[in-house]
Amino acid sequence: MVPSEEPDDEEYIQADLQNMAYDGLENLAGYICHKLKHEVPDIALSTDMVDKHSWVDHLSEGGLSKPTDSFMLDMQALHVVFNKINGSGLFISKNYLGQHLQQAAGIECNLKVKKLFFRSRMYFRMRILNKELADLSTQRKRKMHKILK
């Protein structure tokens, strides 16, 4: 029996998740480009230089800033630092931003970019954790309601 050469559904799902994560990171990078375009002008492509089509291009209809490839590499490196420190939660400490900046010292990008990236990721992670907490609370209330009836 010859093993199947086609990837299974799990491999497709994993590839889709990786693409979605990259698209989300690209969207965040575009936001940072937009916010800091006057202070750090070399992080975004001009609109006539964009030749790739991604989810950000589809969403923006030409209105969002498109990060350069080198800036996206910086964003991926910052994302690795954020995940290394926080894991799947948030590692809250006295000098939260300072610890992230210290870990990202080897990444060659503007300090304002790093600060905005880490603050934005922290905000997004807090939203996710709060939503999970609210969902858990709602589930508990439903169970109690059913028990009481």
pLDDT tens, residue order, the chain (149 aa): 445 555 567 777 777 767 788 888 888 898 898 888 888 877 776 554 445 555 555 555 556 778 888 899 999 999 999 999 999 888 888 899 999 999 999 999 999 999 999 999 999 999 999 998 888 877 776 665 555 55
pLDDT of the residue at 49: 47
- Whole-angstrom distance between the N-terminal and C-terminal Cα of the chain? 57
Question: pTM value?
Answer: 0.73
- Taking Cα atoms as reference points, which of 52, 61, 62 lies closest to residue 22? 52
pLDDT of the residue at 1: 46
Phi and psi based region of residue 120 (left: phi greater than 0; alpha: psi -120 to 50; beta: remaining): alpha
CA–CA dist 65, 142 (Å, integer): 44
pLDDT of the residue at 144: 58
Q: Are 60 and 97 in contact, with CB atoms under 8 Å apart?
A: no
Domain positions in the chain: 9-148
pLDDT of the residue at 52: 55
pLDDT of the residue at 55: 56
